[in-house]
Structure 1
Amino acid sequence: MATSTRVTVWNEYRHEKQNPEIAAIYPQGIHGAIAGYLRGHGCIVHTATLDEPHHGLTNHVLDNTDVLIWWGHMAHGEVKDEIVEQVHDHVLRGMGLIVLHSGHFSKIFKRLMGTTCNLKWREAGERERLWVVAAGHPIADGIGEYFEIPHEEMYGEFFDIPEPETLVFVSWFQGGEVFRSGCCYRRGQGRIFYFRPGHETYPTYHQPEVLRVISNAVRWAKPVERPNTTYGHRPEPIEPLK
């Protein structure tokens, strides 16, 4: 019998504590909204936030995480470098990573991408239409040709990231910009998915299609059983040498 996927939802958890309007949208925090949905779909979910010791991401937590979901915005610089290195190491060893919205500027995403991850942006509450451009990809399961978010922050190209191994979604915004909104990567043995929507002042993480994509991405990003990889000097050949 397959075991449940172990997910850790990490959130800065600053906006919700400082802004009553945002707290009203996410009374349990953005991490709570995502965690509640995933628990209802069979995942074992742990949450962690910036102001906890070790940002809630001890090696014990990471060792027991199949997929880490990351949301950050106003305090990227406060994330300790040693925690970033621990997360980076776990991704290379097979832990999945889902980076949401403004997490594009997080230390861990920039570390894994090796680029600035910069982009254009505008907050005007405009409509976003996300088109599926990888029909049949498991992350787009159950989504249809596109879905719309009534009000969101705009992100626009150029998005300074490496070419995605698979581009699942492209966004169009009411103001005319487009954006690569669902990007798949592999680093080492780990799978990474960047998903654009989720500005804190809108109820994006209550929208069924958005939560469905995140749940699909968790299933896609979870570690795959594989033989242990070995490196270094191998004095004994597989075949006899003459």
Structure 2
Amino acid sequence: MSINVLVWGENVHERENEIVREIYPEGMHTAIARQIAADGDLKVSTAVLQEPEHGLSEERLAGTDVLVWWGHKAHRQVDDAIVERVAKRVWEGMGLIVLHSGHFSKIFKRLMGTPCALKWREAGERERLWVVNPGHPIARGLPAFFELEYEEMYGEPFSVPEPMETVFISWFQGGEVFRSGLTYRRGAGNIFYFRPGHETYPTYHDATVGQVLRNAVRWAHNPAPAYTAVHEAPNVPVEKAPEKIVERGPKLHAPGEQGYR
């Protein structure tokens, strides 16, 4: 069964900046989608900020197995209700891949629960990405390291929660290092943060970056049915306790009454 991938992009820099438009004439989201679709076994579509509901309707998200997110300039323009809608689907099992400046997106900060801040410098530095977890599925088929000739620098400390796994660590010409490939799980959803992807450089035309994205999609996919029970908080009746008990002491709630939220 094919994995349904939705690539979401702001589609702002491409419309406003000539340099970005020359590198990505059809939009960054289109270039990312082409890389992910290159092997032919992944079903890929795109959505952008400017669409109704940002292209992230309940119906569309229900049919999405893995959501890929690129954002930068317009984080604040993403509607909070849509952010909660996406978070709900991640908790239920939809995979999420967050790229580059998406570390400051509302959805990433919502799921991480931390500032997600870092050091940065825009100087066109060489980035060397070391594969520090070569046995990980996201690193499948990769060399010991790969390089991007031009990239924006991100430097530690990166104020995110301790990850499940670190797959890549980047080194930059200026000397800084950065944990540039991190995995998380929230509810039933797998999350991967991948650092490269500054808009004024052709990062998403790089073949190795494309391999990482395809590997990440396959890793993030959870084939199980949506785990909708993750949202439930049932009041278990005394008579349904696994062991027989006798009710005692004062209480706030009547049998079967919903709890406070």
What's the TM-score bracket when you normalise by the shorter of the two chains?
over 0.9
Q: Which residue of 1 aligns with 2:89?
A: 90
State the Cα deviation string for residues 79-100 of structure 1 (Å, max 9, x = none): 0000000000000000000000
Is the partner of 2:93 in helix, strand or coil? coil
Letter in structure 1 aligned against 2:3: T
Write out aligned runs for 1:8-87 (5 A): 8-41=6-39, 42-87=41-86
Moved more, 29-38 or 195-204: 29-38
Q: Does the C-alpha gap of structure 1 residues 133 and 4 become closer, same or farther in structure 2, counting only changes over 3 Å?
A: same
Q: Give the conservation status (yes or no) of the 8 Å contact 2:92–2:228.
A: no
State the Cα deviation string for residues 20-76 of structure 1 (Å, max 9, x = none): 221111111111011112223221111000111100100111001000000000010
Is the partner of 1:45 in helix, strand or coil? strand
Is the partner of 1:91 in helix, strand or coil? helix
What is the alpha-carbon distance in structure 1 between the residues aligned to residue 144 and residue 225 of structure 2? 34
Identity score, percent: 59
Q: Which residue of 2 aligns with 1:110?
A: 109
Letter in structure 2 aligned against 1:78: Q
Q: Does the C-alpha gap of structure 1 residues 228 and 114 become closer, same or farther in structure 2, counting only changes over 3 Å?
A: closer
Q: Which residue of 1 aligns with 2:139?
A: 140
Write out aligned runs for 1:91-240 (5 A): 91-225=90-224, 230=229, 232=234, 233=236, 235-236=239-240
What is the alpha-carbon distance in structure 2 between the residues aligned to residue 229 and residue 49 of structure 1? 26
Q: Give the conservation status (yes or no) of the 8 Å contact 2:93–2:226.
A: no
Q: Give the conservation status (yes or no) of the 8 Å contact 2:128–2:146.
A: yes
**Runs of 5+ consecutive residues of structure 1 not aligned to the other structure:** none
What is the alpha-carbon distance in structure 2 between the residues aligned to residue 30 and residue 228 of structure 1? 32
Q: Which residue of 2 aligns with 1:4?
A: 2
Max Rg structure: 2
Letter in structure 2 aligned against 1:14: V
Is the partner of 2:146 in helix, strand or coil? strand
Moved more, 217-226 or 68-77: 217-226
Is the partner of 1:170 in helix, strand or coil? strand
Aligned Cα root-mean-square deviation (Å): 1.6
